[in-house]
A and B are shown apart, each in its own frame.
Chain A
């Protein structure tokens, strides 16, 4: 005896079919089929990413620098290695900004003899702009002279260098953007290397666990215990200072962090039920590792990579400072910064521009990685 309704049951005879009415004869069943397309992982992330204004600004800033790194070197008539020894260490001169009193191509020359100021062979006509701080030292009257450095060097008024020039008279605008390009290439390639190595290594260690994991982690410990400075220095000394060896030197230790993180992720996910299910259905190890477990780590990996890019640029500049940077005459942010440091007190502008660019890249990649982390975070999936 059941209580289930049946039209033939005499107990329900009073409930005839006429008492019932179809509710949805013309309406569509909502759960029958999605009208909209399903939102994939990346699409979902992209949508959430687009909602964050700061991340978009960061992305735009990086894109602009990236764009300039590609086209910047071609925007002036000078090549990155065009030398002119009459144009050494010129200050920046940007015609559009000159009227606001900045980047006029002026420079203060200290400790100049007052009696030599009228000597037009040293100070060509119209080169002296201002004279300050007159004083007598050792019986000689000295002063600080502000000069239009372009005229002082006897250069025509229509010649200008937007970021100035370096010790070989090379255009710094071209070199800065070319340097940005080289630095970005070094950073991105080295990060790709370290992510790839770390990914495979960490996956294997994390997935198999046990003694394999044990051995592999000991190896990373050994590599990790060697200080970065030492490893990188020895590496470069051994293999020379080419682009490839710098990239490898940057990757040689950095993959360990990625490997550890991936291993951690594997430990977290490998015992989940869905992995068990996939295994039961016959998925092999490689498929389990790369198809089922690894995608969980995409967010952290991308976030990590984003932070690693500017820090690779940073390490490269450190290498350049100790004389192990990229091979001349090629330029890079690090090379420009360390060249700039040598003359920082005399020609600060040579440090200023690369420093600004590395800062923007640093801010940009950091904000971008924050944005991406939020966007990729699986716990936030589907929320708005």
Chain B
């Protein structure tokens, strides 16, 4: 059941009425909440609102505002946590067989598009069919077909190309009636899996007539959700205006399925990329929210509006262990460990105004949504971390000497690539350029090379085509904040977007146990144990060298009341439930 904070408030009010000594008084009619006020905030670059193509985090924020998915993270009634509840779906998915491979999801009957068209299961199925369309081939097809659950026949369907060999009917997505959907998975899945899968933005709905009108003549491209194409809102808010690169204007959607939870009349999301500009907008009262960069923090550290949030990603050095230069020195574990222990993380933390990190799982990632406890804060997750934030010059030199002996080299020169536009990694790169050779001695040399950010990432992923594409590069995964075990996928053998050519069957097996086995899905302690083991393996391998984490810092104006009073990892700010309290 969805939680209804409002209902709780009304009940409380009712009790007060009762307490006032009028037991005969009829129950007060459920009132609409006071709906007023405009929220002013900002996001980064958004180039498309096509839920099947969007890959920008800002796009996710915008889609949350104006489009609808089956499930969504809602704030708890007590407003201290959040949980995954039905948005378009009415209640949790129901398993129809004991193997838990057949699921039924009921959807609400009162959902409507912006233009008044009713939303039925047909819309849901149409959207899923389009995201996996083999000719259109959207970027998110593979994730819809198989991520938290694997939908039967879906992978074969989207990969068939023009062959027309796999009919849509063979895919495990079926209509039962107008308001009931049936999903068939290839293996065991939990309720949580199904809900998580259908809470992702790329399973959000698209409006069929609008979508159809956005096809190019040959039906290979579709301009839905781009500034020039059409778009139809159905979420908590209606997208009234989109000035590309400038602003989004939202108005409350009175027909939203859970309209009574929305208190804002209007919301404006500016698009601002320059941090100084955003800060000035906030200070002059034109924005209700601003993220505060490292340079500005000195001026605002005492400001009562400042909210500090846990780091969501560990900035690490990816090591191309397949690189053949220097007799494949980077493939040598002792050499990598030498780099690991030669990194003076405390100094670096000062530099980036963050905290040293020697781990793989970022501080904000939750051990489970139910407990709300970050994985990092579990005592078991701290037991295996190296002492002194992993800085041990003596140990580093020992490892380095061992590596030199094993490699039969007199000197090792490695090159690190970095992007000039990223202030923090640039500074840290310059720091390491100087400090690593100081620790490791004259037999070690670090070269640094500035490349554009896109070049950096294509080199980092480029080892598939060219094993020597890079040596050391900066990386930092942003993985699911609510599912710690899932995030370990980025080091598995089959993960396609890998930074490092790392293939370890034992590790793969651990990951599968944690994420796909029945026990892993149901036994939380077992899953966490596997996570500890996976993290230990990764730290020991040092194929990625964790360096630092930077907490999020932001200021929110006094006139806004956030649903959870601030930011929660995995939930975000919850702008759509915000209230104006002037």
Contact = CB atoms under 8 A, between A and B. Distances in A.
Interface in A126-183: 137-140, 142, 167-168
A88 B350 contact: yes
Contact of A342 (B295, B298, B434, B452): B295
B423 interface: yes
Q: Is the interface of A mostly helix, strand, loop or mixed?
A: loop
Interface string A170-207: 00000000000000000000000000000000000000
A240 B429 contact: no
Interface stretch (B79-87, B191-199, B302-310): B302-310
B303 A142 contact: yes
A6 B434 CA distance: 98
Given A167-B427, A329-B430, A329-B433, A138 B302 contact: no
Contacts of A168: 351, 427, 430-431
A241 B450 contact: yes
B434 A85 contact: no
B429 A328 contact: yes
Given A344-B276, A346-B296, A113 B302 contact: yes
A138 B304 contact: yes
Contacts of B296: 345-346
A237 interface: yes
A112 interface: yes
B295 A327 contact: no
B434 A137 contact: no
Interface string A74-90: 00000001010110100
Nearest to B275: A342
Given A83-B431, A168-B351, A168-B430, A328 B448 contact: yes
A110 interface: yes
B421 to A, nearest CB: 4
A329 B451 contact: no
A346 B298 contact: yes
Question: Which interface residue of B302, B433, B435 has the most chain A CB atoms within 10 A?
Answer: B302
Contacts, number: 89
Given A237-B455, A240-B451, A328 B430 contact: yes
B56 interface: no
A324 interface: yes
Contact of B303 (A111, A116, A328, A346): A111
A344 B274 CA distance: 13
B165 interface: no
A343 interface: yes
A152 to B, nearest CB: 10
Nearest to A82: B434
Contacts of A278: none
Contacts of A322: 421
Interface in B287-317: 295-296, 298-305
Interface string A54-72: 0000000000000000000
A323 B295 contact: no
Interface residues of A, number: 35
Given A109-B299, A111-B300, A142-B302, A323 B419 contact: yes
Contacts of A324: 420, 450, 452
Contact of B449 (A139, A140, A167, A327): A327
A327 B418 CA distance: 11
B558 interface: yes
B426 to A, nearest CB: 7
Given A88-B351, A237-B455, A342 B423 contact: yes
Given A109-B299, A167-B351, A137 B304 contact: yes
A137 B300 CA distance: 12
B78 interface: no
A346 B304 contact: no
A203 to B, nearest CB: 38
Contact of B448 (A88, A140, A327): A327
A240 B299 CA distance: 37
A111 B427 contact: no
B82 to A, nearest CB: 25
A325 interface: yes
A112 B430 contact: no
Nearest to B303: A111
A169 B350 CA distance: 11
Nearest to A341: B276
Contacts of A240: 449, 451
A331 to B, nearest CB: 11
A235 to B, nearest CB: 13
Contacts of B451: 240-241
23 contacts: A83-B434, A85-B347, A85-B350, A85-B431, A111-B302, A116-B302, A137-B304, A138-B558, A168-B431, A241-B420, A241-B450, A241-B451, A322-B421, A323-B421, A323-B452, A324-B420, A325-B450, A327-B450, A328-B426, A342-B295, A343-B295, A346-B298, A346-B299
Given A167-B351, A237-B455, A345-B279, 17 more contacts: A81-B434, A85-B347, A109-B298, A110-B300, A111-B299, A111-B300, A111-B303, A138-B304, A168-B427, A241-B420, A241-B450, A323-B452, A324-B450, A328-B426, A328-B448, A346-B295, A347-B295
